[in-house]
Amino acid sequence: MSEKSNTDDLEQTVMLAAAAADSRHYEESSSSSPEQKESEEAPLEICPTDDTKYYQEIGRNTDSSDRINCPKTQSRKRGYETENSHEKNTDCSDRNNHLKPQSRKRGYEAENNHEDGSKGKKRKAYGTEASSNNCTESSEGSSHSEVVATHYNLIEDKGLQERFRSPIIYLRIFHNWIKSMLIDEYLQKTKDLKKQYNPVIRVHDMACGKGGDLSKWKKHNISHLICSDIAEVSLEHCKQRYDDMKRKSRNDRGWNTTNFFSLELIHGDAGQVRYREKFSDPSIKIDLVSCQFAFHYSFESLPQAENWFRNVSECLQAGGYFIGTMIDSNEIISRARKSQTGSFGNDVFEVNNLEFDLDNPPLFGGKYNFHLYGVVDCPEFLVHFPTFVKLARKYGLKFIRKEKFNEFFHRMKDEGKQLLTTMGALETYPPVGRKNLVGDAPNDYDHAKEFMKEKDNMYVPCGTLSRSEWEASTLYMTFAFEKLKNTWNPDGTPCYEDK
């Protein structure tokens, strides 16, 4: 059976997966964000008595029939992204040959993801006993940003073969497809606005990590890329990947390297440093700012969040876009309230150690621990979305839309179907040949089985994610903002013009 048959019935199957994983009704309040209509001339006011109503009724239904038993949590930024997303998936045929069902033990004991593939120390109860580089273990007095920087500096770069052995490989590739489609959508809007052939496009990739999106920027033939990150070692990996990509383009395809986009690396904490002061050209006009799986770090405090938004907005030109992905805090609150313990997850992820009152979550500093299978545990922060929109507005960023990953998928699935196939983002069910399924929870593929029965053709495979992976993926959301034009007040502060 051809591998391209993976996505023959992709829409129906993943819709079934969504229905199975989303048998709950979380409130999607404030998605229209009335805050965006407020004038920017007034100072930002955050009223806990009003804004925290956003969380008030989420997940209050305690009827056991409406409760999902999600065990663990979701993923962190670079922990579940697969780089080089546009390369053809030639390793797809033997991915699962490396996976043994008994190796996962339902997620309670996991092997550390060492580069040499050797077994590491086993983890109890979703990482309650952490490894030596667990970023929840910080020295006394060290800031959270220092802990995060240390965590990412210690993560080893894995080769493609090693990543393909991961039991969450399809989750990682699916998330990379989400990023690819989001970037494609707004870079195309940018090109359309410029109304030029091969226009000059400048991009700022905030929290770029090791450069997992470099191939996406190359695909769109951008002119200049600024990569910023808190982890210096990650930036070194990013530079090496850029150099390798540039060299390969010249050698294999005969491209003139002068047409390859230029790269600028900025090291610093986005919550503390003003990036513009580090740019080689502080007057640069940026067309797109992308921040993937990282903005939740900013909500440790209001000053940090404001500095992140300043770094997003300061050089973004009017009409430019700010896009990204992050955890939907509605999902964190809702699932935690529905659980018996305040923790939740499944075989591949867990959210635990919530350091806030579920009945009265804070606007900032709502800390929790997130664990993804094979990835070191690390703390993250709730992002109160009405406040997120309000802060963005203060810095001239007009809210366009937010979508959960399942919503984004259903909107983009037809346009991105070929890319899903090329990337191998969905798992074939039933498995072909000697391949093992990555999911080993009892009900991980019930949705696919039902779909096959309804189609009355058990011999035509379909593409899907396991239920466990889908429950992890549906924690996330995409967002998009547009930079407004501005005039200047007499005191030198900007006044943004609404469209």
pLDDT digits (tens, 9 = 90+) for 400-450: 999 999 999 999 999 999 999 999 999 988 888 777 888 878 788 888 888
CB neighbour class for 414 (10 Å; exposed up to 12, middle 13-18, buried from 19): exposed
- Is 297 annotated to bind a ligand? Reply is yes
Instruction: Report how far residue 322's alpha carbon sits from residue 309's, in angstroms, rounded to the nearest whole number.
Output: 10
- Is 292 annotated to bind a ligand? Reply is yes
- Is 17 annotated to bind a ligand? Reply is no
Using one digit for the tens of pLDDT, what is the confidence trace for 192-217?
Answer: 999 888 899 999 999 999 999 999 99
- Alpha-carbon distance values, 222 to 87, 125, 183, 194, 235 (Å): 19, 45, 12, 13, 19
Instruction: Report how far residue 209's alpha carbon sits from residue 58's, in angstroms, rounded to the nearest whole number.
Output: 33
Peptide linkage before 431 cis (omega within 30 of 0): no
- Give residue 337's domain range: 3-497
- Number of domain units in the chain: 1
Q: Which residues pair with 429 in a beta bridge?
A: 462
Instruction: Report how far residue 104's alpha carbon sits from residue 347's, in angstroms, rounded to the nearest whole number.
Output: 8
Least confident of 241-255, 329-343, 400-414: 241-255
Instruction: Report how far residue 33's alpha carbon sits from residue 67's, in angstroms, rounded to the nearest whole number.
Output: 28
- Is 207 annotated to bind a ligand? Reply is yes
- What's the pLDDT score for residue 254? 58
- Is 229 annotated to bind a ligand? Reply is yes
What's 311's domain CATH number?
Answer: 3.40.50.150
Q: E strands within 413-470? A: 427-429, 462-464
Instruction: Report how far residue 122's alpha carbon sits from residue 101's, in angstroms, rounded to the nearest whole number.
Output: 16
Using one digit for the tens of pLDDT, what is the confidence trace for 91-126?
Answer: 333 443 333 333 333 332 333 333 333 333 333 333
Residue 87 DSSP code: S
